[in-house]
Amino acid sequence: MSDTAASDDGTAAVDAEKVRHVAELARVRLADDEVDEFAAQFGDILEYFEALDEVPEIEREEELVNVMRPDEIEDGLSQTEALANAEETEDGFFVGPKVS
Amino acid sequence: MAAEINAFVTEKTIEGDADADGPLADATVAVKDNISTAGIRTTCGSEMLADYVPPYSATVVDRLTDAGATVVGKTNMDEFGMGTTTETSAFGPTRNPADTDRVPGGSSGGSAAAVAAGEADIALGSDTGGSVRCPAAFCGVVGIKPTYGLVSRYGLIAYANSLEQIGPIAGTVEEAAAALDVIAGDDPNDGTTRDPRQVEGADPDASYAAAADGDVEGLTVGVATELFEGADERVVETVEAAIADLEAQGAETTEISLPSVDHAVQAYYVIAMAEASSNLARFDGVRYGHRSESDGNWNESFAETREEEFGAEVKRRILLGTYALSAGYHDKYYEKAQDARAWVRRDFEDAFEDVDVIASPTMPVLPFELGESLDDPLRMYLADANTTPVNLANLPAISVPAGEADGLPVGLQLVGSKFDEATIVRAASAVEDR
């Protein structure tokens, strides 16, 4: 996508093709009228986000530590519970759409 | 009244422990519908999860029922928490009990409306960029966004993990603080939680409810000029009167500057959308959630399911988040947003060297009329100017009623330093009966 990066004048024009491309990456199908609506709205929103260019580079001092627990077996969901919300199951497995 | 307000998506009961005593024994609690309840559907305000029934309850729900509170239902919300008005719900908008032509705020609008309409004593919301404080302000009730890590997120269906906390909403500061006493504390099922008693300088016997004593003598209140700029004049006047009331009771006020907050909304939306695009990838219609009737392959079925089951605002945020993380844009948007987040955090840390709490309007506007902001997402995002900095900085904040303007509720926001919920509770309790 770097070939369609924001243009040099700093505006973030968004066309329908770009919206369709991102929708494909995100696995969300869009209707044609939704594509046009999003293109206009994304233009406004991304233009607003441009102000982030003014933010100075900051040294990020994160005081973070990892939280670990002993690797011991605990009770989890039963197979029946785990499958209870699936649209389709077979022999104790989830059934997904065909792969290709 | 109840039907007109539409505060609940599902009205079902989980009985509290009848043997419990304490402030929440016999209390009724309404739970936002993105917080899991075993055996009771949890929809996130979305068609996608309209029939999803969690096999377990969130830690906060177990803690409330163990303390004797009875869950009375699951409250309406913007779909997956994405909104400032509770109009993006697949189950219809919630109306503001203070004026039913207006929105209750969002995204925890059903929770605040349930409390304001007397349908529950307390409610739980979740606050990613203001979603507890905004509806509390618009509905004229109290809402607390705890320090990141004070309250377990186990069982909260994620929108933007690094920003969100579950928080209580109630009619009074003391009731909200009592609910916080019950839900706060570390949880082995959420590695980001901390035991507040282990925090340096903490009083191990501290009670947030006991802090609601109204004693603000000697308290230093920072008034952040940036958080008043651009706000509705009627809101500013009401909030300034509440701050003057704190002064009259012995608090000192001082003007402070937080230059970074002018970039908070942008940083918040880039980070939240990026995290959302990743989090919501789990909704593929296979393990849970609806699946479209599709003859296509995995990718096509996935895309069609998400087309049908997600509303427009959720799609917008997933797409913009995907865009902000994509090659060529990651450094421009996501990295800069992380810089802005660190800057905001540092600004607040510096400010808290000199003041105890920071005061501002919770929302820069009065409650929107229904439908007013739906077609203009950017306008809705800008209303989050004063709430989003708090999430970026991981800090605690409370919204407390400051009074009314043109008959509509106005909220005063008080921000505290990390894990210092007691001080914001104390300050808020001094002004709530104005």
How far apart are alpha carbons B36 and B419 in whole angstroms?
25
Q: Tokens 């509905």 correspond to what residue?
A: B139
How far apart are alpha carbons B425 and B173 in whole angstroms?
7
How far apart are alpha carbons B421 and B206 in whole angstroms?
10
A-chain CB neighbours of B326 within 8 Å are: 1, 22, 25
CB-CB under 8 Å, B192 with A100: no
CB-CB under 8 Å, B306 with A96: no
Structural tokens at position B144: 């607390």
Q: Tokens 């998400």 correspond to what residue?
A: B306
Which of these, B390, B29, B336, B356, lies nearest to B178 by C-alpha position?
A: B29
How far apart are alpha carbons B225 and B334 in whole angstroms?
27
How does pLDDT run across B391-408, given as a tens digit for each residue?
A: 999 999 999 999 999 999
From the CA of B183, how many Å to the nearest CA of chain A?
A: 21
Residues of chain B with pLDDT under 70: 1-3
Interface of A with B in 7-66 (CB under 8 A): 19, 22-31, 34, 38, 41-42, 44-46, 48-49, 51-61
Interface test with B, best of A4, A15, A41, A58 (most B CBs within 10 A): A58
Identify the DSSP state of B91: T
How far apart are alpha carbons B138 and B85 in whole angstroms?
10
How does pLDDT run across B310-343, given as a tens digit for each residue?
A: 999 999 999 999 999 998 899 999 999 999 999 9
Exposed, middle or buried by CB within 10 Å (0-12, 13-18, 19+), for B405?
middle
How far apart are alpha carbons B56 and B62 in whole angstroms?
10
B-chain CB neighbours of A51 within 8 Å are: 262-263, 266
Residues 6 or more apart in contact with residue A49 via CB below 8 angstroms: A12, B266, B269, B270, B324, B333
Kindly report the CA angle at B372 between B227 and B405, in degrees rounded to 5?
50
3-state secondary structure of B309: helix
Which of these, B158, B163, B166, lies nearest to B80 by C-alpha position?
A: B158
Query: Which one of B286, B300, B340 has the shortest CB-CB distance to A94?
Result: B286
Whether A3 shows a pLDDT value over 60: the answer reads no
Residues of B annotated as catalytic (active site), given as ranges:
32, 107, 131
Structural tokens at position B196: 């507040």
How does pLDDT run across A46-70, given as a tens digit for each residue?
A: 999 999 999 998 888 777 888 888 9
ipTM value of the model?
0.91
A-chain CB neighbours of B336 within 8 Å are: 52-53, 55
Structural tokens at position B335: 């990295």
From the CA of B177, how many Å to the nearest CA of chain A?
A: 28
What pTM does this model have? 0.96
Q: Provide the pLDDT confidence category of residue A99 given band limits of 50, 70 and 90.
A: confident
Identify the DSSP state of B263: G
CB-CB under 8 Å, B297 with A99: yes
Mean local confidence (pLDDT), A78-97: 95
Return the residue of A nearest to B55 by Cα.
A81
Tally the residues of chain B.
Answer: 434
